[in-house]
Structures are given as C-alpha cells and as structure tokens.
C-alpha cells in the first residue's frame, strides 16, 4: 500500500509518518480533482477504484482508509487544519478501529475538527450514521429510506453550519 496526498500546488504541507508508509504528495489540479475525490471514497471490495489519475503515476487509486482510517500523522502546516469528519473520535487505522488504540494526540495539535454532535447522531434513525453493515442488516427499501433520511438531516446540519459562518453579514473565508 502507498499513500498519495493531493494538495494545492502552493501548499507548504508536509507530514511525518511514524509508521513510514511510502507517501507521495501530488498537486491537486483541475485535471485530477474529480478523479482524486472519487478515489478518496472508493472503498476496496465495495466500489471500483479510479484508474490512472491525471498527473499521477499509473495505477488504481482507492480510499486510503486501510492505511489511514483517520489520520495518525504529524501534519506540518503553517496555521490550522480544518478536518470535517463524521466522528469526533479518530481511530488510527482500519484494522485497528475495533481496538482501543487511539491516534497520537500531538498529531491533532493544530487541527480544528468539525463533526456532528453525539446528540445529532443519536437522533438519526437507528441512532447511528449509515455504514456498510446496513447492506447486510437491512433490506434494500429500509436501507434506502434510512439513508435518504440521514442525507436530508445532514443537509440541514450543513445549512445550519453555513448560516453560522456569516459574521456581520460577511462570509468568512476558510480557504484562501
């Protein structure tokens, strides 16, 4: 397994990986944006990977969750890192997620993590965020209705977050 990080061409981002996985940092461009995003969600054994992303070495690209379920890297970046995520408790790696091993707290020193509250998740159908077990635990009609309800609720959550980014009727610029 290799880690590929797509980042803005002018980014000063560097990482330190105590596990020493081979890591390649590539420029995120208009030519590879869509494929890089699709690859980041292409779950092995569930979805087809994305082949030969523009500006990248030839090969198949997939979700990096096997290496970094939630990142456990020291990210050296001048300033803060915004990390929108579905869970406020990061786990070190896919195969570790059922273990009690947590990420190194110092790897999150400059991270602003935005995640749904426990109350929000508890208010969802089944009291959880949908996951791949829904494919085996629920029939198709029930699963689709459940996922659509959660999608609708998360859209409301996103809209509320967007409204809260307005300060004195001026939009806050998160990324420049």
Write the CB contacts of 78 (distance below 8 Å, at least 6 apart in sequence): 12
Torsion of CA 159, 161, 166, 167, to 10 degrees: 150
pLDDT, average across residues 155-169: 76
Q: Judge if 5 and 21 occupy the same domain.
A: yes
pLDDT computed for residue 96 by the predictor: 62
Q: Are residues 53 and 81 in the same domain?
A: yes
For residue range 3-58, what is the model confidence (pLDDT) as tens digits?
999 999 988 888 888 888 899 999 999 999 999 999 988 877 778 899 999 999 99
> What pTM does this model have?
0.66
pLDDT in tens, 54-65: 999 999 999 877
What is the number of domains present in the chain? 2
DSSP states along 127-141: GS---TTHHHHS-HH
8 and 70 inside one domain: yes
Residue 95: predicted pLDDT:
64
Structural domain of residue 148, as residue ranges?
Answer: 116-176
Q: For residue 129, is it left (φ>0), alpha (ψ between -120 and 50) or beta?
A: beta
> In the listed set 63, 98, 115, which residue is the last one of a domain according to the structure?
115
Backbone angles phi, psi at 122, to 5 degrees: -65, -30
């Amino acid at each position: 397994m290799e880690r590929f990080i797509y980042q803005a061409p002018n980014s000063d981002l560097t990482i330190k990986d105590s596990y020493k996985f081979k890591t390649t940092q590539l420029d995120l461009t208009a030519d590879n944006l869509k494929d890089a995003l699709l690859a980041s969600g292409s779950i092995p054994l569930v979805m087809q990977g994305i082949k030969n992303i523009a500006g990248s070495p030839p090969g198949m690209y997939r979700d990096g969750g096997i290496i970094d379920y939630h990142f456990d890297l020291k990210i050296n970046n001048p300033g803060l890192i915004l990390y929108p995520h579905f869970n406020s408790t990061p786990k070190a790696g896919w195969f570790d997620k059922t273990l009690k091993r947590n990420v190194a707290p110092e790897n999150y020193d400059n991270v602003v993590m935005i995640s749904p509250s426990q109350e929000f998740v508890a208010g969802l159908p089944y009291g959880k965020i949908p996951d791949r077990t829904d494919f085996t635990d629920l029939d198709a009609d029930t699963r689709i209705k459940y996922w659509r309800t959660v999608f609708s609720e998360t859209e409301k959550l996103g809209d509320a977050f967007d409204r809260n980014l307005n300060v004195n009727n001026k939009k806050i610029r998160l990324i420049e």
